[in-house]
Amino acid sequence: MPPILLPTPEIADALAAKRPVVALESTVISHGMPYPQNLETARALEAEVRAAGAVPATIAVMDGRIRVGLDDGALERLATAGPTARKLSRRDLPIAVATGAIGATTVAATMIGARLAGISVFATGGIGGVHRGAETSFDISADLDELARTSVCVVCAGAKSILDLPKTLEVLETRGVPVLGFGTDEFPAFYSRRSGLAVDHRCDNATQVADILRAKWQLGLDGGVLLANPIPVPDELDADAMEAAVAQSLADAESRKIKGKDITPHLLAALERLTGGRSLTANIALIRNNARVAAGVAAALAAG
């Protein structure tokens, strides 16, 4: 591994033995929810991965190194830092490493860390994408370009519901990123299982996903694959009610002139407030579900 990476001994051993490993992002800990719920969720996600037969590797930047796997002390440190930790995408990684800052990795930065470490599967909540009104703001997440260039399978519940989903899928198509549905023909809309938008291909088990990953990378087609895994039925929220809450949250953000990477944490907090906490409960449920599916895909990939 490059010296800039610092894996835990467990992760290093698992990778050397080619056992299944699943990467986990850290912005869900620092920017996704308050302490101590963020720490409890981080531990729960790692437990889900372990229960499904893989080794969890939560990724973050601390003390000038990309940490691949966090022990409980490091998880506590990140959880208590909360939003004071830097939110890191591709452009931010070298700055955080060089300055020794504590930083939480977004989808894009987690993919980079995972690929450097040799981890092929990553579980998150929802990817970033094309923001509503991007035709004038040009606000498009770096996650989409990272998916086009970095060979990691990203398991998610679709793109965040605050985004323009049709435009997000259009950009993914242009970038050559396969969008697979796990047990679904339809791209999930984060809090909702349905969006009315089709995926490129449906997979009903982890082995089918692993076969596509191998074929893509054996063909020399660099870049990621997006595995869209719908939120479990009991945890799904009403799509119309959530759309109204998203519209209200976006209007509030615009009136406060909140933009760039600050907008997603603001909108998630606003949704939690407007839904009486139900959006946060659903968010935790879907990312735990994604962790389980990712572990299955990692195991199937390792078995091949």
pTM for this prediction: 0.94
Give dist(CA 122, CA 4) in Å, integer. 20
pLDDT in tens, 266-291: 877 888 889 998 998 999 999 999 99
| pLDDT > 70 fraction of the chain, expressed in percent and rounded | 99
Per DSSP bridges, beta strands 179-182 and 5-7 are: unpaired
Answer for the pair 5, 116: CB distance below 8 angstroms, yes or no: yes
| Residues 33, 268: Cα–Cα separation, whole Å | 9
pLDDT tens figures, 191-236:
999 999 999 999 999 999 999 999 999 999 999 999 999 999 999 9
141: annotated binding-site residue? yes
Burial of 256 (0-12, 13-18, 19+ CB in 10 A): exposed
Q: ∠ CA 252-254-258 to the nearest 5 degrees?
A: 100
Torsion sign (Cα): 9, 42, 188, 254: negative
Q: Please determine, for residue 1, whether its predicted confidence score (pLDDT) is greater than 80.
A: no
Contact 58, 46 (CB under 8 A): yes
Residue 8: CB atoms within 10 Å = 17
Task: Tell me if 255 is assigned to a ligand binding site.
Answer: no
Determine if residue 259 is labeled as part of a ligand binding site: no
- Known binding residue 257? Answer is no
Tell me, what's the pLDDT at 172? Answer: 98
Rounded CA-CA distance 264/277 in Å is 16
Tokens in use for 196?
Answer: 């009315």
pLDDT of residue 74: 96
Distance CA 107, CA 25 (A): 7
Q: Does residue 18 have an active-site annotation?
A: no
Catalytic residue among 160, 216, 261, 272: 160
> What is the enclosing helix (H) or strand (E) of 275?
none
Q: CB burial class (10 A; 0-12, 13-18, 19+) of residue 243?
A: middle
Identify the helix (H) or strand (E) that includes residue 46.
helix 37-51
CATH superfamily placement of domain 5-303? Indigoidine synthase domain (3.40.1790.10)
Is position 235 annotated in a ligand binding site? no
Among this protein's residues, is 40 annotated catalytic? Answer: no
The structural domains of the chain, with segments of one domain joined by +, span: 5-303
Q: Could you give the CA distance from residue 284 to residue 33 in angstroms, rounded to a whole number?
A: 10
Catalytic residue among 25, 46, 48, 272: 25
Residues 6+ apart with CB under 8 A from 257: none
Residue 110's nearest CA partner among 61, 63, 59 is 59
Is 142 part of any known ligand binding site?
Answer: yes
